Structure 1
Amino acid sequence: MQFDAPVLLYGAGREARSTRAFLQARQPGLKVYVTVDSGSSDIPDTEQLAPDSLPNAIAHRRFGLIVKSPGVSRYKPIFEAARAAGIPVTSNLNLWGAVFRHNRTVIAITGTKGKSTTATLTHLMLTRSGIDAGLAGNVGLAPLEIADKHAVVVFELSSYQTSDMTFVPDVAAITNLYPEHVDWHGSVERYYADKLHLVDRDGNFAVALGRAARGNALVARAVRDHRRLLPDLTPEQSTTIEQAVARSRLRGSHNLDNAQLAAQIALAVGATLDGILQGIAAFRPLPHRLEEHVFGGVTVVNDSISTTPEATKAALAAYPGRRIALIAGGHERQQDYAELASLLVTRGVNTLVTLPVTGERLAAATLAQSADIAVHQAQDIEAAIDYLGNARSRFDTIILSPGAPSYNQFKNFEERGNRFVELCRARFAGD
């Protein structure tokens, strides 16, 4: 692949940096621009272009290709203007597909929740089976960082990446499908379509579905030909995996589903049952996903990566029999919290502390559902922990599972989770 005109990087995160490194290695003299809507654009050997200068730059064809970062919505009007001017818009993932896809086995895993755990488990099961496999996408390396290093590549992909994915995997997997990321996609319907683009197209590839995805009519239609579906695990395999999960660090029924889906995928690509069991035993929870600490006798669970009500439900289900203080709420994405509110009492929640902005709706829905839950609306995470420090007798477990993104108060979910753990350590470790 050669580039006959300068390239614009829209976005300046990890993927953009790996794209710059890829271009530098391939064509050292290629001119590269970078544009960001906010934050830093400090990528070496690039020239910055302000967003408001792009219409003029497009009109004068200052670049011949735009490589868009996943977090930048493909539906921004500037990209339509670029396409109308004959300037294509692509991604780090699609550049990988154009250059490195050939002669590789590609597994692509998506879903509203569970995709990172499923992808990580699949990778562990394959490597423990002696298969040369790499992990890329939203976990592991950026696509262009993994390049041609492995014969098998497991991609964990968001709806941002599947929406315009141009190449076809050998195995496509969907864990489940719930509304999310409406602000990026513009509507729930478009989110579904962009997520399901992974399977809703022609091509000779296999499909694996998580338990929740199997009962979804939209997923069923997207699969098109159900002869694509991988065979189910045998009852013996399923039982053996369930027993292995019970001995592992995988918590909750949703993680059993993830492990069984990963095993189904891994078996299709040549893994052994022994390798699958070794992979389950080797799994360690990903940072900020049911990441567990104990401070002064209080179990503190950092589930900051939770950005949907469904993820919060799964987090609560992983701690049966506990007296739970739940911290939830964050950036507004017009998600429905009524069902979550109705489940809190049955999941052991006796104390709910909410954060702006979505916390207001969750607090109201919870107060309407139950008088048995103490509800407190905090202005920030510091105030939330202050409140819980004075209500210590009510709970034995604190779970931060916001069910919403962090952008209104934090740069990202990692920053939110780290601050939560830091505050809990300071408040409870000496108790």
Structure 2
Amino acid sequence: MRFADLARRRVAIWGFGREGHAVIKALRVRLPAQSLTLFCGAAEVEAARAFDAALEVVAGEPDAATLGRFDVVVKSPGISAYKPALLAAQAQGTRFTSGTALWFAENPQARVIAVTGTKGKSTTSALLAHVARALGVRTALAGNIGLPLLELLDQRAELWVIELSSFQTGEAGALELGVVTSLYEEHLDWHGSRERYVADKLKLADAARTLLVNGQQPGLLERTAAHPHRLVFGTPEGWHVRDGFIRRGVREVFLIEQLAAPGLHNALNACAALAALEAIGMDALAAAPVLASFRPLPHRLQPLGERDGWYWVNDSISTTPLATLAALESLHGRTVTVLVGGHDRGLDWTPFVEAMRATPAHAIVCMGANGARIEAALRVAGVACPVLLVSDLANAVEAARARTPEHGVILLSPGAPSFDQFKDYAERGRRFGVLAGFDAAGVSGIDGLGIEGARHD
């Protein structure tokens, strides 16, 4: 569905976050006379009217009958495609689309690498754009990473690196290369079940002419085995990590300790980026040295620095227990107090508990809506380190200060979403930084969003 298909139709926008803003702006550019209705939260009504006075603004979540009054609804990614009201309206003929789907429909000739994965997709996308630009390729970095595609409508790039969440993979049009960095249990509240989450995530395979997947995940390999043009990273014959180096086969290419983004998982993300570049015919070996100048993304194992004798690491993006374990692995050998807990989606914390029983952190501070559940599981398992339960992030930071020795690490890696206390993980990460004594502005900001690199006019 293209913008022209919306002309003279009854059109609504559902959601007034950054995606919703981008949709409204794009519609006003392409269809300035179009009548538009916006569904948004009650607290957003005044801001929406100030943003676009011509909007008909409706507060609250629409029901099936309300949605059914529209020919097309452009929804934001965070609104589940499996809401009963949405499915009922869809059955009655209302069509649902998104900013992502509209961009792909408008740009069928764009050269696209789309990156998804439970973890690693943002860092891999940013790394990929970084190394492509080092080769002089005018490259766009956009999507779920923090810049809606429609904010770049009508702009041109030689290569589009697009991060897609599991909410968006089914909205992609045909593309040159799809990359799947990892596949774990996540976002069950949106998808409804683990099986549906996996199926939705792997819709990217249907859109991708070539598919690149993490060869260290047997389940992912099994589920993508039928793809006619599947490539693999993370295994000895290709781009992989071994003995302190990123390697291409037997060749030592890049010393891991020179990568500013810490942890073996980030070295594997770099492998994914280099393998993707190679898969589309570019010189990954020539680009590899610029990995040394890559700046780690905020809230993703972000080293904030030293304050008051402790080292602070912000991994607020961690929303699964396995992500927390990866964060702890990256700090192996350090004295680490880890802050865990947040919005409870019912995920299984058993792997985390078992790992802490075998190799405990220095201390574990449990907080938020699922903090008590995590604390109880750790105590039942007899984890041999201090386990504390507090109500919120501020109290967690104070507890960590009291329990962590000088030169120790205080790590925020919650393993859970932030919605019990914060708007999103970024707000949580900024708050952590401020509580630690850092400037909030220095905690945020992703380098390289948008279009950068050489022009070839």
Q: Do both proteins adopt the same fold according to a TM-score greater than 0.5, normalized to the shorter chain?
A: yes
- Asked if the contact 1:249–1:285 (Cα under 8 Å) also holds between the matched residues in 2, the reply is yes
Does the 8 A contact of 1:244 with 1:280 survive in 2?
A: no
After superposition, the Cα gap between the structure-2 partners of 1:53 and 1:194, relative to the gap in structure 1 and judged at 3 Å, is closer
1:339-390 deviation per Cα after TM superposition (whole angstroms, max 9, x unaligned): 1122226555121110122222221222233352101100111111222232
TM superposition score normalised by structure 2: 0.86
Which deviates further from its counterpart, 113-122 or 3-12?
3-12
Secondary structure of the equivalent of 2:22?
helix
Q: Residues 21-420 of structure 1 correspond to what in structure 2 (within 5 A)?
A: 21-37=25-41, 39-41=43-45, 42-43=47-48, 44-45=51-52, 46-51=55-60, 54-59=63-68, 61=69, 63-100=70-107, 102-147=108-153, 148-162=155-169, 164-199=170-205, 201=206, 205-213=209-217, 215-216=218-219, 219-229=221-231, 233=238, 237=248, 243-273=254-284, 275-292=286-303, 293-344=305-356, 347=359, 349-393=361-405, 396-420=408-432
8 Å contact kept, 1:66–1:89:
yes
| CA distance, structure 1, for counterparts of residue 373 and residue 287 of structure 2 | 42
User: How many Å separate the matches in 2 of 1:93 and 1:219?
Assistant: 27
Alignment check: 8 A CA contact 1:312 1:403 kept: yes
Cα distance, 1:51–1:385 mapped onto 2, change above 3 Å: closer
In 2: Cα distance, 1:86 partner to 1:48 partner? 23
Three-state SS of the structure 2 residue aligned to 1:294 is: strand
Residues 213, 230 of structure 2: 8 Å contact kept: no
- 1:138 shift after superposition: 1.4
Distance 1:39 1:241 in 2: 55
Query: How far is 1:300 from its partner?
Result: 0.6
Q: What are the Cα deviations for residues 137-159 of structure 1, in whole angstroms up to 9, with x where unaligned?
A: 11252111223421211111110
Q: In 1, Cα distance between the equivalents of 2:104 and 2:280?
A: 19
Q: Residues of 1 paired with 2:61 and 2:332: CA distance?
A: 52
- Counterparts in 2 of 1:417 and 1:30: CA distance versus 1, 3 Å: same
The DSSP-based 3-state class of the residue aligned with 1:178 is coil
Q: Could you give the per-residue CA deviations for residues 10-68 of structure 1, whole angstroms, max 9, x where no partner exists? A: 11111111111110110111111111256424332221123466544445x3x321111
- Tell me if the contact between 2:42 and 2:59 (Cα under 8 Å) persists in the aligned partners: no
Q: 2:435 pairs with 423, 426, 429, which one?
A: 423
- CA shift in 2, pair 1:383/1:239, >3 Å: farther
C-alpha displacement at 1:315, in angstroms? 0.4
- Go from structure 1 to structure 2 and tell me whether the alpha carbon gap of 1:364 and 1:57 turns closer, same or farther (over 3 Å shift): closer
8 Å Cα contact 2:336/2:363 also seen in 1: yes
In 2, the alpha carbon distance for the partners of 1:310 and 1:261 equals: 19
CA distance in 2, matches of 1:109, 1:186: 23
Give the match's secondary structure for 2:338: strand
Give the superposition deviation at 1:204.
6.5
Q: Which runs of 5+ in 2 are unaligned?
A: 241-246, 439-457
Change (3 A) 1:185 1:83: same
Letter in 1 for 2:223: R
User: Residue 171 of structure 2: SS of its match in structure 1?
Assistant: coil
Q: Match for residue 448 of structure 2?
A: none
Work out whether residues 290 and 303 of structure 1, in 8 Å CA contact, stay in contact via their aligned partners in 2: yes
Partner of 1:20: 24
Q: Distance in 2 between matches of 1:348 and 1:271?
A: 43
| 1:311-360 alpha-carbon deviations (Å, 9 max, x no partner) | 10110011111111110000011111111122226555121110122222
* Unaligned ranges ≥5, structure 1: 427-431
Higher strand share: 2
Q: Deviations over 1:132-191 (max 9, x none)?
A: 2101111252111223421211111110111x3251221011111111111111111111
Please give the alpha-carbon distance, in whole angstroms, between the structure 1 residues aligned to 2:263 and 2:356. 16
Deviates more, 1:84-93 or 1:273-282: 273-282
- Greater shift, 302-311 or 273-282, is seen at 273-282
Structure 1, residues 280-314: CA drift from partner, whole Å, max 9, x if none?
A: 12211111111112112211111011001111011
State the secondary structure of the residue aligned to 2:313.
strand
C-alpha spacing 1:166/1:286, structure 2 compared with 1 (3 Å): closer
**Shift in CA distance, 387/53, structure 1 to aligned 2, threshold 3 Å:** closer
